[in-house]
Amino acid sequence: MAKKTNKDSSESKKIEDLKKDHWEMKDTTMTTNQGLKVNDTNNSLKSGERGSTLLEDFLLREKISHFDHERIPERIVHARGSAAHGYFELSKDMSEFTKAGIFTDTNRRTPVFVRFSTVAGSKGSPDLARDVRGFAVKFYTEEGTWDLVGNNMPIFFIQDAMKFPDLIHSVKPEPNKEIPQAASAHDTFYDFVSLTTETLHNHIWAMSDRAIPRSLRMMEGFGIHTFRLINDKNESHFVKFHWKPKLGVHSVTWEEAVKINGADADFHRRDLWDAIEAGQFPEWELGLQIVPEADEHKFEFDLLDPTKLIPEEMVPVTIVGKMVLNRNPENFFAETEQVAFLPGHIVPGIDFSNDPLLQGRLFSYRDTQLSRLGTPNFHQIPINQPIVPIHNNQRDGQMQASIPKGQTAYFPNSLSGGCPHLAKMSEGAFHSYEERIDAKKIRTRSESFSDHFSQPALFYRSLAPWEQEHVAGAYTFELGKCMHDHIKERMLWLIAQIDEDLAQKVADGLGMKVPNNIQKPINQAIGADADPKKHEPGPKKNYLDASPALSQSNTKFDSIATRQVAVLLADGFDAKSFKAMKAMLEKEGAMAKLIAPHGGTVKDSDKNEHKVDAAIMTTESVLFDALYIPDGKTSVDALLKQAKFIKFVNETFKYCKAIAADGEGERLLKASFVKDHMKDKAVHVNEKPEAFKKSMAQHRNWDRRSITDSVPV
Ligand code: HDE
């Protein structure tokens, strides 16, 4: 049993640990890396005022040479990321299932560092790519570091680690022309997907709104694989990990995503940073789905197959604690770039399952850090150091940053009194779960992994009509970007195995027919001598009509906290109506952002000055959640003079967001597409701020979507 700890001191342990490595600019004098004081960092040493630069100039050489080596290789996947510090706090003692201190000690706050990422794009790619999001959590526990390296979707594209390079090579830019960047909409990806039917479940999730989150703070996270929990009697239960965001799961539309990428390529990164700086700390609950070992074979799918989820309606998610992110990193490179997550970092009480994807990951992550960070000593980088001391006989290597003392570096020894000595399990040592194994050594895929259509169909059936339309739109867009008809036909045939109506909609959009006697794209994830019939995905099964937990229409709609409201105004806007709206927004934790014809300040009707957050030419409506136009004749007259304000209104309406106007503000609505839709339930003219709040909390008014195609923006 882990020792009980004090909440506040345990939370700050990693922060204190990192402080040892901080340094400040304040009150410092410039020096070289050797501590020599520098008196000119602007001019190189020359032979005469206009003469050649001297090789002797060690100040120039040190500065330029360091700069020359400032970059390290970007991550081969998940290169684009943003991270934050915080803590995890347990609310429910889970010692019945696990001996892990993090799940048994409700007095503890475990420090965490969390990195979110897109998968396919390069480090500088835009945030709103249609992609899976990485959701990697490093828990600095009292028993050593535990990394839960997950994604924002509960399943993965492939079943065996052996396929990972193929998957990633197919989605990355095509190797001859290095196009397209951060996009799956191209031939090689669909060539691979259509020949590898196990990808279809994760693929349909990637076509859903989950792949274009409104915010990193508004997405779920999943450990994906089935893991094990081990209690102090050494009993094992299977477990899946779920992160549930406090603000609910919300997304933008694809058209918005495309525009956001142009207007603010750092949209998600900025949103995470700003929320934390504003004290609006992102928060998730951690839930566990626990399955007793005895129930392993009770499901229609294999628990070891990472392309399958366990519907929450079949095994409920037990909430055991919460995670809060309350501090931005001090330095992007030192922390966010150099952090190294390894699924192989576990602690006593948690263990692996035989999921063949997880097993391969246990190798890959350490391997990749060796070339990315350049040394086996990457655990010594401050962000990667555990909060507990390390003692072993590993020595040397590039960038050894500690100075191990003493004569010995081997075990057993007597010269150092046998130290570091071994720990017993009763002292908290790790001991692998003693799983019984009696099997042939064999290179194959289990036949229990062969059902590839049932869960994509369950997912699609569980979505609300507006979500289904977005999925159809996404397939149509992506396949529309492919050049080869035979690839599109194979995809249409496969989509029809998931849902015929969906396939028909996509085919209509592509101007093609759903093929019915195509040569079946047999599952090719088998060896050359294997019997394809044994691995062919059978027709979809229906073991659950719908799983409401999969639909974003069943998420939380109870808050407008952290939502960004564009307030369109100019000099002379009405102080009273603005004040009432602003008071409501502030009370609810939403942000009013003033957008005016120019930067600087604007004056209200009482001659008070207000700081403008953005001049209209520097911003776009897609960066906001809702729109408000206060009363005031001169203000609205000024807005009407710039067509971009009308575009702003049209676009806000098109993407189904809430709109409010007071008094003269109505004139701007009447000058826009909204004029014929003033009765829309999320358009509020001269109503109480509370009404606007209710519409905003709904995230979008999807009832509007039948008319939005005709909005001309
Ligand atoms: Fe990863 N993955 N992955 N992955 N992955 C990496 O490790 C890999 C997989 C995930 O913010 C790499 O440090 C293989 C599943 C995240 O730093 C690399 C396989 C899941 C991150 C790697 C998978 C993930 C990575 C690249 C198939 C969700 C970013 C850089 C067996 C459960 C972590 C790095 C961060 C990063 C390999 C599949 C999540 C190359 C071989 C499934 C969130 O090691």
Strand 227-230 relative to strand 236-245, pairing: antiparallel
Chosen domain end from 350, 384, 418: 384
Amino acid 276: pLDDT: 98
> Which of 674, 668, 659 lies closest to 711, judged by CA?
674
What is the DSSP-derived secondary structure letter of residue 334? I
What CATH number did the domain enclosing 275 receive? 2.40.180.10
* Two tokens, residue 268: 């998600």
Nearest partner of 346 among 320, 365, 327, 328, judged by Cα: 365
Per the structure, the complete domain to which residue 585 belongs is given by: 557-708
Determine if residue 461 is labeled as part of a ligand binding site. Answer: no
What single string gives the DSSP state of each residue in 84-95?
A: EEEEEEE-S--T
Helix (H, G, I), strand (E, B) or coil at 268: helix
Taking the whole predicted model, whether its pTM rises above 0.90 is answered as yes
pLDDT of residue 531: 84
Q: Are 620 and 644 in contact (CB under 8 A)?
A: no
Of the residues 369, 384, 399, the one at which a domain ends: 384
- Separation of alpha carbons 199 and 202, rounded Å: 6
Strand partners, 324: 87, 283
On whether residue 699 sits in a domain, the answer given is yes
- Dihedral-angle region of residue 395 (phi above 0 means left; psi in -120 to 50 means alpha; beta otherwise): beta
**How far is residue 87 CA from its own chain's centroid?**
18
Q: Identify the bridge partners of residue 285 per DSSP, sorted by sequence position.
A: 244, 322
Domain membership of residue 239 (yes or no) is: yes
Q: Give the span between the Cα atoms of 506 and 502, in whole angstroms.
A: 6
- CA–CA dist 593, 381 (Å, integer): 40
End of a domain among 336, 366, 384? Answer: 384
Q: Is residue 66 part of a domain?
A: no
Q: Where do runs of H (alpha helix) occur along 398-549?
A: 454-462, 465-480, 485-498, 500-510, 532-535
668 assigned to some structural domain: yes
The helix/strand/coil state of 146 is strand
Distance between CA atoms of residues 598 and 615, nearest Å: 5
Model confidence pLDDT, tens digit, residues 595-631? 999 999 999 999 999 999 999 999 999 999 999 999 9
Residue 66 falls in the annotated catalytic set? no
Q: Which helix (H) or strand (E) holds 454?
A: helix 454-462
Number of compact structural domains in the chain: 2
What ipTM was assigned to the predicted interfaces of this complex?
Answer: 0.95
Residue 590 belongs to a domain: yes
State how far the Cα of 694 lies from the Cα of 709, in Å rounded to an integer: 25
Residue 335 lies in a domain: yes
Q: Is residue 366 in a domain?
A: yes
Q: Is 365 annotated as a binding residue?
A: yes
Tokens of 361: 């990951």
Q: Is the CB of 224 under 6 A from ligand 1?
A: yes
Q: How far apart are CA 235 and CA 211, in angstroms?
A: 37
Give the chain's residues under pLDDT 50.
1-3
User: pLDDT at position 524, please?
Assistant: 67
Ligand 1, atom 14: closest residue by C-alpha: 361
Pick from 72, 74, 75, 308 the residue to mutate for probing ligand 1's pocket: most ligand atoms within 8 Å of its CB.
75
pLDDT value, residue 11: 76
State the catalytic residue, choosing from 33, 42, 66, 78. 78
DSSP per residue, 359-413: HHHHHHHHHHHHHHH-STTGGGSGGG--SS----S----TT--S---SS--SSS-
Q: Which of 223, 212, 169 is nearest to 191 (CA)?
A: 169
**Catalytic: 33?**
no
80-130 pLDDT, tens digit each: 999 999 999 999 999 999 999 999 999 999 999 999 999 999 999 999 999
* Structural domain includes residue 315: yes
Q: Which residues, listed in sequence order, are joined to residue 230 by a DSSP beta bridge? A: 236
Q: How far apart are CA 488 and CA 479, in angstroms?
A: 6
CA of 198 to the centre of ligand 1 (A): 18
Q: For ligand 1, is residue 506 a contact (CB within 6 Å)?
A: no
Question: What is the C-alpha to C-alpha distance for residues 363 and 371, in angstroms, rounded to an integer?
Answer: 14
